[in-house]
Chain A
Amino acid sequence: MKEILGLEAVTKEYGQGDIKVFALKDVSMSVNQGDFLALAGPSGSGKTTMLNLIGGLDRPTHGKVEVDGVDISRLSGGALSRLRLHKIGFVFQAYNLIPVLTAYENAEYVLMLQGASVKERKRKIMSLLKEVGLDGKENRYPRELSGGQQQRVAIARAIAAEPALVLADEPTANVDSKTAKALLDLMERLNTEKGITFIFSTHDPAVMDRARKLVHLKDGKIEEIEEKESKTREPNAD
């Protein structure tokens, strides 16, 4: 399998002078294309910091972060924006949809940033919305959708640009267990059928249970990397 992400002795520290807090300390790991990986650990263990570094939203104090062969820790602001646009998809705990845009327009936005034509956008987004189970709901605004449906829109937006990696920060934290299961089913299906690489940060046992690779973080360090077999999925129950 092709390596899609590599972290090499990554350290992230906050504070100045003598007062320094290490959010991540000397972390190294690699992620292959098609991985379905969860970063697990208690609050403050460094999960979100790690996702931010992988996603190019933040820069490491020391070390190297490589996404699809590009050392992103050295990229300029503009190059980082382009990298996020073309190689990384984000799914957030709070969905973070744009409230004035419909489900269709929210998913379409990334393609518009990429400069895709209206025709191409329409073809792609209609098919994606169908794929994430939102067929017929494309003209609804976020406020007219349930939490689970909003997260499906966020997933459609994240994969619309066909990124190398989808980073999901606690994607099931704001939904009930039934919806969480349906969302995990969806992401797992996208992973197995389309080969999209997912990296979650979570402390939800259901997500940890579903992940095929589990990275346990504690106090900013990798405590253990657990490789697992995939499990049988149940039908959607959104």
Chain B
Amino acid sequence: MLTLRIAWRNLWRNNRRTAITFAALSLNTAVLIASFALMLGMLDDLVRNATDLVVGQVQVHHPKYRSERSIYDTVIKPGDILQAAASAGIAASPRAYGFGLVSHGKNSAGARFCGVFPEKEKKTVELYKHLLAGNYLPDKPGKKLVLGRKLAKTLEVKVGDEIIVVVQAADGSMGNDIYHVAGILKSMGEGIDRTLAMVHYKDMEDLFALNGTFHEIVLNSSGKMPEDKVAAAILPSAKGNEVMTWRQLMPPLNDMLNAMNGMLILFGAIFFLAAGLGVMNTMLMSTFERIREFGLLKAIGATPWRIIKEVSAEALLLGVASTLAGGAIGTFLAWYFQYHPIDLTGFAPDGISAMGVAMNPEWRATLSPETVWMPIVVMWIISLLAVLWPAVRAARLDPVKALVQV
């Protein structure tokens, strides 16, 4: 106890210096917590949008489908997979894909058709919430289309307009029909924006002569379990198929997330380094001013270890006090940004997308225990590491020389 008392009083010998270091450490901790929470919020948002909007956590395909995109490479025994997902409490949506031509007036464009069961799709992903205009597909088939934003722009169509569809069906015949635009999606990334044409599966089944086959099953637990567990839950019933998590499906996004994590670590390291140098500077000055005192302590019987302990106690106290203050401020800021997100619509009125994944224009922080305790504990460790050199220096002083130091 006396050690801590001495440490605390020694810290406040030079009020201004200690106050500056205290403020710097507090600010560092607060900024780290708030920025970690914001970055985590951004990553969470990116992952959530990647998984919750279109891709889901896990997808099942025929092993050849992703490389060849052939209409004939359909999911093997989709019923078993859907049943396994239902019994594990995982939402699942089967999809069918096919290519064709869409035209309106003098405009035409290639499109990638995606047939879904709207009621299942809505339980699995949140694309239906991401509409720029009009409505999502009705639960019952009715030859309605939901188009990507740029495809709608190319065709110069608006909600309710008529579209002529021409496709090559699975049985080799040519399918053609008239559809109506039900809705237009917000920006979702280039692939979706330029080519996607969503229809009801039953309409697509007729158009492409699919005969109840699917090219993809999307699974999403909506955060209830990690993607690996979702994949594991349906794996036994997906024999012969390819089961992939979103990380495997979207390697660029996965790489980007890893890079962002790396940047976060680098960003933290710079802050920690600055904090460490601040503590070291304070403790070096503080020990330099007290050489005579350390000489006295050694003369009266204090061991080098005792002196290291005393000097370290000062740095640790400084670290603990300032990180607690900074922690409180940082936690408040993170909490505030969690409930009052930063509005980015002014910077990107058409929405933001990265790596083909739409991002929420409201930048929300994610406050988690890790974002609070990690910077604080690392700051304590940094404080202790930063004080080692000044402490060892003080402990190694020759008492005879130290005692005559002016």
A interface residue numbers (CB < 8 A to B) = 52, 55, 57-58, 77-78, 81-82, 84-86, 89-90, 92, 96, 98-101, 105, 108-110, 112-114, 157, 161
Contact = CB atoms under 8 A, between A and B. Distances in A.
Given A100-B9, A109-B2, A81 B403 contact: no
B339 to A, nearest CB: 45
Interface stretch (B81-89, B302-310, B380-388): B302-310
Given A57-B399, A58-B400, A113-B306, A100 B301 contact: no
Interface in B1-49: 2, 5-6, 9-10, 13
Interface of B: 2, 5-6, 9-10, 13, 292-293, 296-304, 306, 399-400, 403
Contacts of B2: 105, 108-109, 112
Contacts of A110: 300-301
A113 B299 contact: no
Interface centre among A81, A101, A112 (most CB of B within 10 A): A81
Contact of B301 (A52, A85, A101): A85
A57 B306 CA distance: 17
Given A57-B399, A57-B400, A108-B2, A113 B300 contact: yes
9 contacts: A52-B400, A58-B400, A77-B304, A81-B304, A92-B296, A96-B292, A96-B296, A101-B9, A113-B300
B299 A98 contact: no
Contact of B299 (A78, A84, A114): A84
A114 B9 CA distance: 22
A90 B9 contact: no
Given A77-B304, A100-B6, A108-B2, A57 B299 contact: yes
Nearest to B299: A90
A113 B403 CA distance: 19
B400 A90 contact: no
Contacts of A113: 300-302, 306
Nearest to A82: B301
Given A100-B6, A100-B10, A81 B296 contact: no
A89 B2 CA distance: 21
Contacts of B297: 98
Contacts of A85: 300-302
Contacts of A86: 301
Contacts of A57: 298-299, 399-400, 403
Contact of A98 (B293, B304, B399, B400): B293
Interface centre among B10, B13, B399 (most CB of A within 10 A): B399
B300 A101 contact: no
A90 B302 CA distance: 13
Contacts of B9: 100-101
Given A52-B400, A109-B2, A84 B13 contact: no
Ordered nearest first, which 8 A-B pairs have the shortest CB separation? A85-B301, A100-B9, A84-B301, A96-B296, A81-B303, A57-B399, A57-B400, A58-B400
B356 to A, nearest CB: 62
A10 to B, nearest CB: 16
Nearest to B8: A100
A110 B5 CA distance: 15
A199 B2 CA distance: 31
